[in-house]
Amino acid sequence: MKKHLLICLILFLPGTLVSLAQYSDHRGHQLDSLEHFVLDWTPEKLESADDGQCTAIIQAYGNLMYGYSQINPDRGMYYARKALELGTRKDWLWRMVDANRMLGQYHYGGKQYDSAFYYYNAARDVIARMPGRYQEQNIDDISSQLYGSIGNLYSVMDSLPQAMEYYEKAGAIFEKYGWKENSSVLYHNMGETWLEKGHLAEAEECYDKALRYGQEAQDSLMIANAKAGLGALCLEQGKTGKALQYLQEADVYFSTHDDQEYRSRLYTLDLTGKVLAAQKRQIRAIATGAILLSLALIALVVVLLRTRRLRKENEAANEVIGQALENGSARIDLEENGQLTDREKEILPLLAAGLTSPQIADKLYLSLPTIKWYRRRLLERFDAKNTAGMISKAREQGVL
């Protein structure tokens, strides 16, 4: 839907034969009055009309084919055919190109792409006859509009390289003459194309250019459309706050020009609704995340408290075991002949090497109270008061 809006916009671009101040004036014409005017010209009367009268008639056909573009495409196409018929009879090349291109637009809107190509190619053939009869700037003007239309057609047919090729051709002409409004519409169109294809970085670059050109031209319509495009982009990027800001700024314009830009406003309001829905989803996701985080923290605290309790219970158990060993209730590998046990032979060299009781416990995978008990047992065996005396006597006895 938005693409169709942009197509309509590019139809109304300024050129040499249509002054910059009139690029959207067709929307202000009274279509009923124009129809009454052209209906007075029956085929018989039209055959005898002079050039001045034919100029007025074909101008009315042109305004009608543009004026009905959004509200009654069938009538718009009818008047486009009438303009093409009269333009061909008078060999007015400009009118022929304009009517052919507009017929292509109508077929494009109806998704009749082969027919659209037919009329665009017919317009291109007529343009090839223009040099020598029209000024270069006039030819560039109508050519740029045709390039934009062909670019749109390639875009919906998923031929992105060809679409961008024609957009760039149109852009080169706009840059050549400094047509800011045209450049704004063109880059907006390109932004829509990139966004639709999922190329967000390219879309952002084009929308930014569309906004810049619109601001340089001081054209509020172009600025509003660029901001609406940026709003759509930010929505895709998940930047809902920024999207809402752009869309609200665009709606300031559309809401005061609802008679002319009602489709644009409907599009903007629809996007705004999607942004608000996305914000609600984000809030729910954040709330859910906060709840899950809180539950995880509670679980972590429970685990830590349980670990601390188990550690204390283990320490208490080790203390009981140590006390039991010390009282002789749990003798470990004692030999009746008074010789050192295997475990004592394992611990004594470690004590001689200067290892502490905790270090020996870690090394032998024994509890600290058990090591302490063996240490006291070794002191008793060697009748020593301290570790140094015990090691000395062990060496004297050849144990170490």
Q: Of 275 and 180, which is predicted with more confidence? A: 180
Q: Of 262 and 195, which is predicted with more confidence? A: 195
Say if CB 31 and CB 70 are below 8 A apart. no
pLDDT over 90, % of the chain: 50
Say if CB 77 and CB 121 are below 8 A apart. no
Name the pLDDT band for 321 (thresholds 50, 70, 90).
low
Q: What is the full DSSP assignment across 316-349?
A: HHHHHHHHHHHTTSS--S--TT-PPPHHHHHHHH
Q: Which has the minimum average pLDDT: 159-168, 237-246, 270-279?
A: 270-279
Let me know the angle formed at the C-alpha of 140 by 134 and 142, rounded to the nearest 5 degrees.
85
Whole-number pLDDT of residue 315: 62
pLDDT of 375-390, one tens digit each? 999 999 888 889 999 9
CATH of domain 2-275: 1.25.40.10
Q: Of 216 and 1, which is predicted with more confidence? A: 216
Q: Of 220 and 259, which is predicted with more confidence? A: 220
Name the pLDDT band for 43 (thresholds 50, 70, 90).
confident
pLDDT of 87-123, one tens digit each? 999 999 999 999 999 999 999 999 999 999 999 999 9
Domain boundaries, the chain: 2-275, 342-396
Q: Of 339 and 207, which is predicted with more confidence? A: 207
Q: In this structure, what DSSP letter does residue 134 have?
A: B
Question: Rounded mean pLDDT of the chain?
Answer: 84
Helix 93-109 vs helix 73-90: crossing angle, to nearest 10: 160
Say if CB 280 and CB 252 are below 8 A apart. no
- In this prediction the pTM is 0.56
Q: Of 4 and 159, which is predicted with more confidence? A: 159
Whole-number pLDDT of residue 253: 87
Q: In this structure, what DSSP letter does residue 68 have?
A: T
Does residue 310 have a pLDDT over 50? yes
Q: Among 15, 13, 12, 11, which Cα is nearest to 177's?
A: 15
When pLDDT is averaged across residues 239-243 and rounded to a whole number, the result is 91
Name the pLDDT band for 142 (thresholds 50, 70, 90).
very high
Tokens found for residue 151 = 């670019």
CATH of domain 342-396: 1.10.10.10
3-state secondary structure of 99: helix
